[in-house]
Structure 1
Amino acid sequence: MASTAANAAASADDSQEIEADVPGFFRIYKDGRLVRFIGTDKLPAALDPATGVDSKDITIDPTTGVSVRLYLPPVAAGQKLPVLVYFHGGAFFLESSASPAYHRHLNSLSALTPLIGVSVDYRLAPEHPLPAAYEDSWASLRWVFSLPDPWLSDHADLNRVFIAGDSAGANICHHMALRARVDSAAGVILKGVALIHPYFWGSEPIGSESTDPAVRSTVEKIWQFACPNSTGPDDPRINPLAVDAANLALLGCDQLLVTVAEKDTIKHRGKAYYEKVKHSGWKGKAELVETPDSEHVFHLFNPDTDKAKELTKLLADFFNKE
């Protein structure tokens, strides 16, 4: 009886003890619970009166529930447009394709380029730990190339398929670009990849990253919570610069854009990634753009600023490459 009471007390303590905390975003408790403070609001797919872009949601795999939100700008009969497959950010824990910031961003990109947008609603950790998000994202790419929907079959130019993502979504892009080359039989052929403020990490601090062991431990706990079978901060899934990571010369695309923000603590990871790609023997064309005096994913939180509009235009121009 005493043992049962002690176990119950320990469980109660675990349920209240915080394992890792990202103020204003999410909190992880010792018992494995995650509380989300943002990223749960959703907007319905609909015709956007400001841009004329229409959108709709499609479940692409009933067994997992994975869906995509398609975006179609005003288009003439028979007109072919580039395709953007977008992976949202949120540390693998937050947000969705229906989040207001992402819905607004895809409407803008679809109208400005113009392009067909495919925003992927991959499964989130901790309910669905990695590699679920990677597998869902790959399934979405394969789905696009099968042209299963009239918006795609009538208007998609499969010679101009781009992928992009911010933060964790940029991490996903890196792995999708590698897989496109390694699993070439799948028929996923990418014109370009845009990594926006990519979420990468490693055991050794670089640049202006914090050297505080407590800060680094928190970041690493968060990653381990998203990917329980990870080998740690130098797992190639979070550190593409690790010794045993894939050769970046294997990126399966012709064009690469890496964007970073001056005040983002992980900006040096994006810069180091860009430099390693350039010196890897990869045959494509790479570009690095840093936005001064800006924070991580500033363009999503403050889309009406001049800097956000400049970044959105930069992306639209990149997705319009022949």
Structure 2
Amino acid sequence: MLLDLAPLESGEKLLFLLICMAGTLASLWFVFSRMTRYRLIADTPTAKVRSAPQGYVELIGHVIAGEDGMLDAPLSGRPCVWYDYKVEELDDDDGRKRWRSVRSGRSQHWFQINDGTGTCLIDPEGAEVSSQHKHSWRGHSAFPGGQSLDSNAVAAFFSTQIGAGQYRFTERLIFEHEQLYALGHFHTVGGGRDQLNIKDAVRDRLRSWKRDPEQLLERFDSNGDGKISPDEWQAARLAAEQEAQQEQQHLHALPSMNVLTDPQASRMPYLLSTHDETQLIQRYRWLSAGCLLGAMLFFWFFLEVLLAN
């Protein structure tokens, strides 16, 4: 064998074999996971918002703030449409230094993209987000300052990991007007597309009214005897049907809105990235190759330990 390993006891040998096998399997899982993303990005054609089919699509457009407007990044205070942040503290435990998470968070506010043919709302919940703007710096307090800096100074200050201190701050941001690559579940709502099940809507309303007997009596007990007669119950049913019809008319009057969300399927990842498509393809190709190399190394170590005397 290539490695000259010292003799191992049976317990140690079994432990090393289990570690190597676990590493091999984990690396192979990452190989297939990254390869799946690579093939999806490479093989899925880019759709236009105006003519995109309902279902799993690839969109590329420029970012626009959502209905909530611009957000303020929690650590740097920079205006953005999406953020992800983490605060860590350097923990010195028995002379072994490691970073311990203090707090973290991620924006769930919707934003939009426009590709020149139409606008699509983006729901970031559940998405794998990769941003070009990832900044890390250190400080002496768990709550960083610097929010009074102008935008140019902030951009220069956070361009690299600088400073010293026991706290480390990491922030990933998406800015308005950036180009965004999106791969997810596309669907159009409103514009008369949403059909209300009248029968179910009536049943739900009547059930809700029955949970509040006082309100039901006040509204439909026409003779004031403190009970709902069959005729009065029929009046309640007619009122529920009228409200359901009004809700259906309201749905028909809503404008059309295009929405991209998480497909919630393991084989169909939800990806959002400010890197362009070519960069993403290269990234996942190299990640797949790296994970495959890792799997081969772990398997080699497994054989070396297995065949060692």
TM-score class, shorter-chain normalisation, is: under 0.3
Name the TM-score, length of structure 1 as normaliser.
0.21
Identify the structure with bigger relative contact order (alpha carbons < 8 Å, sequence gap 6+): 2
- Normalized per residue, the structure richer in strand is 2
